[in-house]
Structure 1
Amino acid sequence: MAPVHDATAWGESFDHLLECKTGQLVFQDFLRTQYSDENLHFWLACEEYKKITAKTEMMVAATRIYTKFVHVDAPRQINIDCVTREEISENISQPGPNCFDRAQKLIYGLMENDCYPRFLKSEIYQALLQQAERQ
């Protein structure tokens, strides 16, 4: 399980949670119970996408992200406004490094303001905190 200081730090800020691999996994488990784990998967995919420098690889990755999360019939469709979705659709044929920035920012905000506070109150997180206090 997570080291004590990690679980405690996750409660300090959403960024602490996302910066920790174990935190991501625990948060993902929580999101799965809320039927919204596609948000974290999309956010992480965007983080990886930003590291890509080769144009061909960028096109392949952008298409994969678009097809999986953004497209109207996407299997793991994220909840973004139609303007943002349309903007990505128009740019997907020539994706740049910032192609998903707006959508990623929206999803981050959704997770931080909605999912994260519920995570902190969840049984999953509370059990980890109690475990941390006993050590």
Structure 2
Amino acid sequence: MAPVHDVVAWGESLDHLLECKTGQLVFEDFLRTEYSEENLLFWLACEDYKKAASETERAEAAKRIYAEFVEVDAPRQINIDCVTRGEISENIAQPGPNCFDRAQSLIYGLMENDCYPRFLKSEIYQALLEQQ
């Protein structure tokens, strides 16, 4: 179980929640109940993408992210506007380190303004707070 200061910190900001591995897992469980875990999974995939050691690694990761989250009818398609989706499609052949930044920022905003406030009110989070 997460230490008390972690669980309390998760309530302070989405960043605190995402900085903690346990927080990520609890948030993912919550999002799964809302059928929106693709948002967090995409955001985490983008964080890993930025750490790619080589262009080859980055290109492979970009294709994976694109196929899983971005292209129309992807298995975990994220909710982004067609302009952003189009930009990624154009850049996917030679993806730069910032290929997914705009989409990641949009998804972060969606989580912060929509999913995160509901998470804080959720039974999942409230139960963890009470256990402290």
TM-score range, shorter chain: over 0.9
Paired with 2:30 and 2:75, the residues of 1 have a C-alpha distance of 20
The equivalent residue for 2:103 is 103
Name the amino acid aligned to 1:126: Q
Name which of structure 1's ranges 49-58 and 70-79 shifts more when overlaid on structure 2: 49-58
CA RMSD of aligned residues (A): 0.6
Q: Pick 1 or 2: higher relative contact order, CA cutoff 8 A, min separation 6.
A: 1
| TM-superposition CA deviations, 1:84-126 (whole Å, max 9, x none) | 0000001100100000000000000000000000000000000
What is the rounded CA distance, in whole Å, between the counterparts of 1:10 and 1:65 in structure 2? 27
The percent of aligned pairs where both chains have the same amino acid is 82
The 5 Å alignment of 1:1-135 reads: 1-132=1-132
For the residues of structure 1 that align with 2:131 and 2:53, how far apart are their CA atoms? 42
**Count of residue pairs the alignment pairs up:** 132
Amino acid at match of 1:17: L
- AA aligned opposite 1:14: L
Moved over 4 A (4+): none
3-state SS of paired residue (1:69): helix
TM-score normalised according to structure 1 size: 0.96
In structure 2, stretches of 5+ residues that fail to align are none
**C-alpha displacement at 1:53, in angstroms?**
3.2
Q: Which runs of 5+ in 1 are unaligned?
A: none
- For residue 94 of structure 2, give the secondary structure of its aligned residue in structure 1: coil
TM-score normalised according to structure 2 size: 0.98
How far apart are the structure 2 equivalents of 1:12 and 1:90? Answer: 38
| 1:3-36 Cα deviation digits (max 9, x unpaired) | 1111111001110000000000000000000000
